[in-house]
Amino acid sequence: MDESLETQSQTLDQENEIVTEGSAVVHGEPSQDGSVPPNVDTEVQVLDEKVSKQIIKEGHGSKPSKYSTCFLHYRAWTKHTQHKFEDTWQEQQPIELVLGKEKKEMAGLAIGVSSMKSGERALLHIGWELGYGKDGNFSFPNVPPMADLLYEVEVIGFDETKEARWIVQGKARSDMTVEERIGAADRRKMDGNNLFKEDKLEEAMQQYEMAIAYMGDDFMFQLYGKYQDMALAVKNPCHLNMAACLIKLKRYDEAIGHCNIVLTEEEKNPKALFRRGKAKAELGQMDSAREDFRKAQKYAPDDNAIRRELRGIAEQEKAVYQKQKEMYKGMFVGREESGGKGKSRNWSIMLWQWLVSLFSRIFGRHRVKAD
């Protein structure tokens, strides 16, 4: 599909190059840990009798028009009990919402999103009449009857180009052919690659997230054979591209999550193993990082970046060992100089403590390998 891009990412050593052979992911971290709604003190904007909005982060550009396909992340709670019933950030899967074509329970959310700009994050207050109604919902998501709702929403972007015109003409995204959806996702991925090269990481991640929205689980489950391969060739590199952006932004846990998605499909993918190893190393998970680098080296034995990372871990551990050795040596010398009856006994205690520390370290490393 994009054979010219294949040659741009020949080695894992090129930190400024993005993976360009196929992948997808998710962006937009929540404003807090997400267990409860965020505290927002901005002005309340009344959008409808049953819908109001408080801006958390300003967006940019224009607002979407009717029949635009909006890509967004959200967390949803019942207002009074603060029971969280849905979280697309946690699922690492943005959703797409077609304004004017939304489900009945999304009517309030659609009113809020129609007032938002790309990149904007807001807290929406929605009355039960424009949510799950008088009866609520007892399947998934589980929402009690007559429950007012809170949504923390971030608009990743919206599509008013060819895809939006198809919707106006009665052809929704779900009615697009496999080739059309994969092609639309691939264009988003390429736009993201260009933004990445300009070091516009947030904007690049928005494009990758919109690409993955075309490749949702409901779509991927229907594919097999060559169509599945075509879709993964776009989807998986977007995940790896997201990981590259997130590592640069020091959001290491999220980067690991994106790499895990790729490794679920391709357990021998050296780029996914390499980037997951880098993120783990930054988090101080040296044993686990070493394992990822060694696996990556197995599938890419000539890669210099992998060798460099393994060498860096070895040198770091050697430095730590030498520091500990000097520290204990100084303690032993101090004990010898102090003399007295307990000299031999104290020396033995220190030696024993050092041995226990050494064996604990070795045992811990073997345990990580066993896991």
What DSSP letter does each residue of 133-172 carry, written as one string?
TTT-BSSSS-B-TT--EEEEEEEEEEE-SHHHHHHHTT--
326 pLDDT band, cuts 50/70/90, is confident
363 pLDDT band, cuts 50/70/90, is low
| pLDDT surpasses 80 at 301 | yes
In this prediction, residue 13 carries a pLDDT of: 45
Name the packing angle between helices 270-282 and 304-338 (round to 10°). Answer: 30
Mean of pLDDT over the chain: 80
Which has more pLDDT, 366 or 160? 160
Q: pLDDT tens for residues 257-296? A: 999 999 998 999 999 999 999 999 999 899 999 999 999 9
Give the residue-averaged pLDDT of 7-26. 41
20 pLDDT band, cuts 50/70/90, is very low
| pLDDT surpasses 60 at 311 | yes
Neighbours of 268 (CB within 10 A): 12
Measuring CA to CA, which residue among 283, 258, 281 is closest to residue 271?
258
Q: What is the enclosing helix (H) or strand (E) of 351?
A: helix 343-370
In this prediction, residue 359 carries a pLDDT of: 65
Token output for 125: 């207050």
CA dihedral sign of residues 266, 95, 146, 54: positive
Are 69 and 140 in contact by the 8 Å Cβ rule? The answer is no
In this prediction, residue 89 carries a pLDDT of: 82
In this prediction, residue 4 carries a pLDDT of: 35
What are the backbone angles phi and psi of residue 158, rounded to the nearest 5°?
-145, 155
- Nearest 10 degrees: Cα torsion 251, 252, 253, 256: 130
**Minimum mean pLDDT range among 79-83, 152-156, 158-162, 167-171:** 167-171
Which has more pLDDT, 113 or 62? 113
| pLDDT surpasses 80 at 92 | no
Place of tokens 């996914």: 272
| pLDDT surpasses 70 at 87 | yes
